Amino acid sequence: MGSIGIPELLLVFAIILLLFGAKKLPEIGRGLGEGIRSFKSAFSGEEEKKEEKIVQAKEIEAEVIKKEEKEKVKTET
């Protein structure tokens, strides 16, 4: 058995094009790409890191808002 070459790949692409049509191919590619990205991030644990960073950013934002409110109260009195 030989390896898959350019002619074989072109044949496979032509069959896929006939089956799904030119309009569906970008949607299929986008869906596959998103699926692979989510699998990689779930496998490496990146999703948990992103969630932790979001929580930290919200905590910092809340602290900044509290400080601003305290300063407003001080300047008003």
What's residue 23's pLDDT? 85
Burial 28-43 (b: 16+ CB within 10 A, else e): eeeeeeeeeeeeeeee
Which helix H or strand E contains 77, and what residues bound it?
none
Is this prediction's pTM over 0.75?
no
Q: Which residue has the tokens 């030989």?
A: 2
Q: What is the pLDDT of residue 11?
A: 93
- Class of the 1-44 domain? mainly alpha
Rg (CA), the chain: 26
The predicted-structure confidence for 46-71, as pLDDT tens digits, reads as follows: 666 777 888 888 899 989 888 888 88
